[in-house]
Amino acid sequence: MPRLGFGKDPHSHARMQTASQTAPAQAIDGSMLSQWYQQVRAVTADLCRTLAPEDMVVQSMPDASPGKWHLAHTTWFFEHFLLVPHCESYRSFNRDFNYLFNSYYHTVGAMHPRAERGLLSRPVTAEVMHYRKYVDENMLALIKRHVTDKKLAFLVTLGLHHEQQHQELILTDIKHVLSVNPLKPAWRELPTPPTGKVPPLKYIPRPEGLEPIGYGGQDFAFDNESPRHRVSLRRHAIASRLVTNGEYREFIRAGGYRAAELWLADGWAMLQRENCNRPLYWNEDMTAEFTLGGMRDMDCHAPVCHVSYYEADAYARWAGARLPTEAEWETLAAQFPIEGNLMESGLFHPRAAQADGDKPRQLFGDVWEWTASAYDAYPGFKPLAGSLGEYNGKFMVNQLVLRGGSCATPLSHLRVSYRNFFPPHARWQFMGIRLARDE
């Protein structure tokens, strides 16, 4: 296995493209599930290819999980929710894994404490990979036997989208693990994102009215994206691009982290408690930042990332603006194709906005965009039946919605209606800022 951070790997991006994650046009069409299943599972393994076994067990903070745990948990998901209930002849790889790799499904049974996942030196990484192979063989046989079963196909599709979420978590969690290492090693050698002077920030006027949001199609979507419904929007305007490192640095130099009047009370308390005075991964003199490719000089034109909701909100106040609501974001983004600096770009880091006429830029990819919207249920929301109803609904409190995907999000995982959510203090995901204002 290659040592972390040493040597070039010119085949890395090619491997990622070969093991693409292009979802079937009909995401619950069982005839295409076998191929997509293998593609998604291959990408997950590839993300861990340059990691040594020692890297795979480290848990650098309670919110992050070891890479080995992600590999096992996503496998447990398929075993527990598909193989055990749908295959009478299936024999569990190891019954103790139900306790070790259950995440938060309390209706399923007890689970190992989240903050102590880094203490699981056993099973070793090699055994986890054997577990994945065992489950994959059984899953492919199950899909083949039930190729026309739409209910089972839906569960497989849900499991694959769940795994894609964990692909992004593998990247953001290992980034945090490597960042606390004094050697600042790279996850792998990566190309430097293209840069260039960004176009001036402009505000795109948006009309008032009743507008539909939420998922209304026939393919796969998470339950929290539905039902489609109308919302009342006031006249407003949304920024044409994301806030850059250079712009955010001016906020810091202007004393933004010392101006209590800019901050929500909980945000100000977080600054004092954690001695926070700049985005996560920036060095002290704000000239460099830690990336999945190691330490790099700061690109002042690239989008600022790894900021909390509190930081995004304070910056917006300082700039004489606010954060958009998720309805404002979605009604704008729905007019444009889903494309941008996503996982398939192979950069794994935000890049500077590219000139593109008068269109809004960076709506998809680069960074998840904080919105001003609390994560709660849409009118008429119904969670999935059974234990899978714990997937989204029970988290609808004390969280904020983010939209648009990031440089670590697979293209086939996104929809314009996709609702990501995190607590307001979270910073270790690729989180950034788009401004809005009232008109």
Q: Which residues pair with 282 in a beta bridge?
A: 289
- For the chain, what percent of residues have pLDDT higher than 70? 93
Mean pLDDT of 209-235: 95
- H or E segment at 406? none
- What integer pLDDT is reported at residue 354 of this predicted model? 85
Domain borders along the chain are 12-179, 203-438
C-alpha pair distances (Å), 23 with each of 19, 74, 138, 164, 340: 12, 18, 21, 11, 17
192 with 238: CB under 8 angstroms?
no
**Beta pairing, strands 436-438 & 236-239:** antiparallel
- What integer pLDDT is reported at residue 358 of this predicted model? 76
Mean pLDDT of 314-340: 98
Is pLDDT at 306 greater than 60 in this prediction? yes
The second-level CATH assignment, the architecture, of 12-179 is Up-down Bundle (1.20)
Structure tokens at 117: 């996942």
- What integer pLDDT is reported at residue 355 of this predicted model? 76
- What integer pLDDT is reported at residue 15 of this predicted model? 44
Structure tokens at 154: 């839906």
- What integer pLDDT is reported at residue 4 of this predicted model? 35
- What integer pLDDT is reported at residue 392 of this predicted model? 86
316 with 307: CB under 8 angstroms?
no
Look-up of token digits 């290659």: 2
- Taking CB atoms within 8 Å and a gap of at least 24, the contacts of 79-85 are 79/135, 80/108, 81/155, 81/159, 81/387, 81/388, 82/139, 82/142, 82/152, 82/155, 82/156, 82/159, 83/135, 83/138, 83/139, 83/142
Amino acid at 123: P
Distance, in Å, from the CA atom of 95 to the CA atom of 74, rounded to the nearest integer, reads 16
Is pLDDT at 6 greater than 50 in this prediction? no
Closest CA to 427 of 402, 390, 409: 402
407 with 149: CB under 8 angstroms?
no
Beta strands in 166-287 (DSSP E): 203-206, 209-213, 229-233, 236-239
- When pLDDT is cut at 50, 70 and 90, the band that residue 339 belongs to is very high
**pTM recorded for the entire structure:** 0.93
- What integer pLDDT is reported at residue 365 of this predicted model? 97
Mean pLDDT of 252-257: 98
Tens digits of residue pLDDT in 37-68:
999 999 999 999 999 999 999 999 999 999 99
Is pLDDT at 158 greater than 90 in this prediction? yes
If one compares 22 and 174, the residue with the highest pLDDT of the two is 174
Distance, in Å, from the CA atom of 87 to the CA atom of 223, rounded to the nearest integer, reads 26
Tens digits of residue pLDDT in 275-291:
999 999 999 999 999 99
Write phi, then psi, for 388 (nearest 5 degrees).
-65, -15
Distance, in Å, from the CA atom of 105 to the CA atom of 43, rounded to the nearest integer, reads 25
Distance, in Å, from the CA atom of 201 to the CA atom of 359, rounded to the nearest integer, reads 12
Is pLDDT at 188 greater than 90 in this prediction? yes
- What integer pLDDT is reported at residue 264 of this predicted model? 98
Tens digits of residue pLDDT in 76-134:
999 999 999 999 999 999 999 999 999 999 999 999 999 999 999 999 999 999 999 99
Distance, in Å, from the CA atom of 38 to the CA atom of 35, rounded to the nearest integer, reads 5
* Length of the chain as a residue count: 439
* Mean per-residue pLDDT of the chain: 92
Distance, in Å, from the CA atom of 189 to the CA atom of 410, rounded to the nearest integer, reads 20
In degrees, rounded to 5, the angle at the alpha carbon of residue 420 between the alpha carbons of residues 370 and 55 is 100
Q: Is omega for the bond preceding 227 within 30 degrees of 0, making it cis?
A: yes
Distance, in Å, from the CA atom of 178 to the CA atom of 185, rounded to the nearest integer, reads 6
Structure tokens at 28: 């619950």
CATH number among 3.40.50.1980, 3.40.50.970, 3.30.450.20, 3.90.1580.10, domain 203-438? 3.90.1580.10
- What integer pLDDT is reported at residue 30 of this predicted model? 62
Is pLDDT at 10 greater than 50 in this prediction? no
Amino acid at 145: R
- When pLDDT is cut at 50, 70 and 90, the band that residue 12 belongs to is very low
- What integer pLDDT is reported at residue 11 of this predicted model? 41
Tens digits of residue pLDDT in 356-367:
767 899 999 999
Structure tokens at 366: 């680069």
